[in-house]
Amino acid sequence: MIRPMIKVKIKTLFALSVLLIGNSFATPVSPVGKWKSIDDETKKAKSIIQISESSGVLSGNIVKLFREADEVQNPLCDKCEGSRKDQPIQGMNILWDLKARSDDWGDGHILDPKNGKVYKVKIKVVEDGKKLQVRGFLGISLLGRTQIWEKFEETE
């Protein structure tokens, strides 16, 4: 009578360990697609970023800027350095080298075209794929800020 119960417990423990081990190697939800970045202060849409994947590495380009009528429609990145200096922001690669980790994408970089600075970045798809949590930081993740980007629907 004791032996059948032990077999059931062993089978249950085995099944649970397979599930736990399997989940530890799972890749995070892919953020490939178009995302609408939102201004922290005004809460208005700033741009559309197209995130793509090549050989397991993510990158992101600005495909559209939302500008007021009295603003320059395709400004240059005058505060950027290197090859991005004075280049049009629209079309610019601002997100690169992101790799899948256990529950997010990280170890990459993000450019803030407003100030020309490059930060380390990690991103994570949240709210059933409707939002993207983007955390830019210097050194360690505690020294940074998080933006929430919204999934862009082509009908917008």
Within-domain flag for 113: yes
Within-domain flag for 18: no
Within-domain flag for 22: no
Query: What is the total count of domains within the chain?
Result: 1
Q: Position of tokens 């999934």?
A: 151
CATH code for the domain in which residue 46 is found: 2.40.128.520
Within-domain flag for 47: yes
Q: Is 60 exceeded by the pLDDT of residue 74?
A: yes
Q: Is 70 exceeded by the pLDDT of residue 4?
A: no
Q: Is 97 exposed, middle or buried (0-12, 13-18, 19+ CB in 10 A)?
A: middle
Give the whole-angstrom CA distance, residue 18 versus residue 60: 35
Q: Name, in order, each residue with C-beta under 8 angstroms of 87's C-beta and a sequence gap of 6 or more.
A: 76, 77, 80
Share of the chain above pLDDT 90, in %: 68
Give the whole-angstrom CA distance, residue 136 versus residue 6: 50
Window from 23-27, 71-75, 102-106, 110-114 with minimum mean pLDDT: 23-27
Within-domain flag for 21: no
Within-domain flag for 17: no
- Read off the pLDDT of residues 100-128 as tens digits, 9 standing for 90 and up: 999 999 999 999 999 999 999 999 999 99
Q: Is 80 exceeded by the pLDDT of residue 83?
A: yes
Within-domain flag for 122: yes
Give the pTM: 0.80
C-alpha separations of 81 from 76, 99, 110 in Å: 12, 24, 14
Within-domain flag for 1: no
Judge contact between 54 and 26, C-beta under 8 A: no
Q: Range of 48's domain?
A: 28-151
